[in-house]
């Protein structure tokens, strides 16, 4: 499925254990890590196509998994017509993602259930930070010329620094896809190292733009290079590409996280973004995370879901679990 020159990572040796650290320090650039790396696309498809048939989560267990998914959502608004008022409403929803009556019915009254983060453009970082004050919910800012990533490099670094100065605790950067498409791995590594340095204490999520870099082999190699350069998370997409997060792409990226963990002992997080809009789909991603990486990757420090409408569908499914009836989607607004 995904192989390196030294061993197959399909039959994973030794069950490497995650040692979660505050940051991924990265490692020196070593092109040998990519030698012989190849992906069997048909094997990947066979693996992911069985997720919905081999594993089923029902009733109380499903409700518990969906509650966990809420805590891993990066609740996102990245539209051209965003306003401060919209961001403030989104932050209010992040603080209180479920109605009180549903929490009571689920036996979760008084539990600190919030989303994992709120993700916005730089312009609204300060607005979100103020709206979330005291909640413990971090603000994530998209940066580096999001979504195309074609701004001058010096401006990308200044944008990161400005978002951190405004209070962003996480920075979602976009890599230069040209470096991947031309196989210029040294340039990708150097770019990512600069981004990580500019983030300071803020965690950095590297958006690969998987719909643009075309092949699963490119995705595997770009994932590894970004982790080598210090990415704390690797993320599938901006949500603006024609094809965004898919299970196939996610499986390849998770296998690279597993390879990096085995080589370094450092646990790197994963964020699918774009297209994860239903409770059914998020359950498949959670199952994939659990089976490929283990229980630790179901928590928000190692798993995030970039989404906006997903929360409303989860709320609908939880209401159905409680009442036996589906409500209209518009009864569960996100913002």
Strand partners, 305: 73
Catalytic residue list:
172, 235, 271
Q: Nearest 5°: phi and psi at 53?
A: -105, -30
CA–CA distance, 52 with 286 (Å, rounded to integer): 11
Residue 143 CB neighbours (<10 A): 32
H or E element at residue 75: strand 73-76
C-alpha dist (Å) from residue 290 to 113, 119, 286, 293, 324: 21, 25, 6, 6, 28
Residue 325 CB neighbours (<10 A): 7
Q: Are strands 305-307 and 269-271 parallel, antiparallel or unpaired?
A: unpaired
For the CA atoms of 148, 154, 158, 159, what is the dihedral angle to 10 degrees? 0
Q: Is the dihedral of CA 231, 40, 55, 278 positive or negative?
A: positive
For the chain, the distance separating the N- and C-terminal CA atoms, rounded to the nearest angstrom, is 41
How open is the CA angle 238-85-90, to the nearest 5 degrees? 50
What does the block give as tokens for 329? 């989607």
Q: In which region does residue 31 sit, left (phi positive, over 0), alpha (psi from -120 to 50) or beta (all else)?
A: alpha
CA–CA distance, 229 with 110 (Å, rounded to integer): 41
DSSP state letters, 238-282: -S-SSS---HHHHHHHHHHHHHHHHHHS---EEE-BSS--SHHHH
Q: Are strands 269-271 and 139-142 parallel, antiparallel or unpaired?
A: unpaired
What does the block give as tokens for 218? 């490119």
């Amino acid at each position: 499925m995904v192989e390196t020159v030294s061993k197959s990572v399909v039959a994973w040796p030794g069950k490497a254990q995650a040692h979660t650290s505050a940051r991924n320090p990265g490692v020196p650039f070593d092109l040998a890590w990519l030698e012989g790396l190849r992906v069997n696309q048909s094997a990947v498809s066979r693996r992911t196509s069985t997720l919905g048939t081999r594993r089923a989560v029902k009733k109380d267990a499903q409700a518990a998994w969906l509650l966990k998914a809420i805590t891993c959502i990066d609740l996102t608004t990245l539209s051209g017509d965003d306003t401060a008022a919209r961001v403030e409403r989104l932050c209010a929803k992040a603080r209180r993602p479920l109605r009180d009556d549903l929490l009571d019915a689920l036996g979760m009254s008084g539990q600190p259930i919030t989303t994992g983060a709120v993700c916005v453009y730089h312009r609204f970082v300060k607005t979100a930070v103020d709206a979330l004050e005291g909640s413990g919910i971090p603000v994530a800012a998209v940066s580096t010329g999001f979504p195309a990533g074609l701004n001058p490099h010096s401006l990308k670094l200044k944008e990161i620094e400005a978002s951190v100065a405004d209070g962003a605790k996480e920075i979602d950067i976009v890599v230069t896809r040209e470096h991947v498409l031309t196989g210029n791995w040294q340039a990708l590594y150097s770019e990512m190292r600069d981004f990580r340095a500019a983030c300071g204490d803020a965690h950095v999520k590297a958006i690969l733009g998987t719909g643009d870099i075309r092949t699963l082999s490119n995705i595997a190699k770009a994932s590894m290079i970004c982790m080598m350069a210090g990415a704390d998370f690797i993320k599938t997409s901006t949500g603006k590409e024609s094809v965004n997060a898919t299970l196939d792409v996610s499986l390849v990226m998770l296998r690279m996280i597993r390879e990096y963990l085995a080589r370094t002992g450092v646990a790197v997080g994963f964020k699918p973004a774009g297209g994860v809009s239903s409770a059914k789909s998020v359950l498949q991603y959670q199952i994939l995370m659990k089976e490929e990486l283990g229980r630790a990757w179901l928590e928000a420090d190692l798993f995030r879901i970039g989404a906006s409408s997903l929360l409303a569908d989860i709320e609908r499914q939880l209401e159905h679990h409680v009442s036996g009836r589906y409500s209209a989607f518009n009864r569960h607004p996100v913002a």
